[in-house]
Amino acid sequence: MNILLKLKSWQIFLIWIFGAIQMQIFMNTDFWYISMGIYLGLIFGWIYSIGRVLNRHIAKQIKKLNIWSIIYLVSMMPMVIRFHDFVSRSGERFHILILIVSGIIGFVSLINIGIISAKALKEKENGLKLKFTEYLLEFFLILYFIIGVWFIQPRLNKIIMMKK
């Protein structure tokens, strides 16, 4: 997990862009699921590794992060399958209730993962216990990956380099 935090902002951004292009190229093939995994795996892996690496010595936070991560990954499976079926015009359709419940569960779990990661980042920088309003900016930057990677990654690089 440390490898994503050691990369530069532009490297993560380029990997993400190439993943998006690869996903579009393989849209109507069976390789699309792997492409989607790479594409979403980078975003999720980056958010997860922030919380995992910065909370390394806090077992309670790691356990919470792992539980929310498993819930998120399981809840996103119907969404990914449905998206591929929608784009490829397949005849298979999920029931809309499954998609709604899956989406809500995935959204809540991603919010919790983002909160854990943002809090860990801000606490590592300040060394204090914080309220949510004090790390709200980091939370939104983490969730809005496209913009956030340019602001968060240099800060992560400094923290990771100080640990050595």
Domain spans of the chain, in order of start: 2-163
Asked whether the predicted pLDDT for residue 60 surpasses 90, the reply is: yes
Q: What is the pLDDT of residue 70?
A: 94
- Read off the pTM: 0.83
Give the mean pLDDT of 44-73.
92
Kindly indicate the confidence band of residue 141, based on its pLDDT and cuts at 50, 70 and 90: very high
Q: What is the pLDDT of residue 122?
A: 93
Q: pLDDT over 90 for what percent of the chain?
A: 40
CB-hemisphere CA count at 13 Å for 132?
A: 6
Query: What number of other Cβ atoms are within 10 A of residue 58's Cβ?
Result: 15
pLDDT tens digits, one per residue of 27-53? 777 777 777 777 888 888 899 999 999
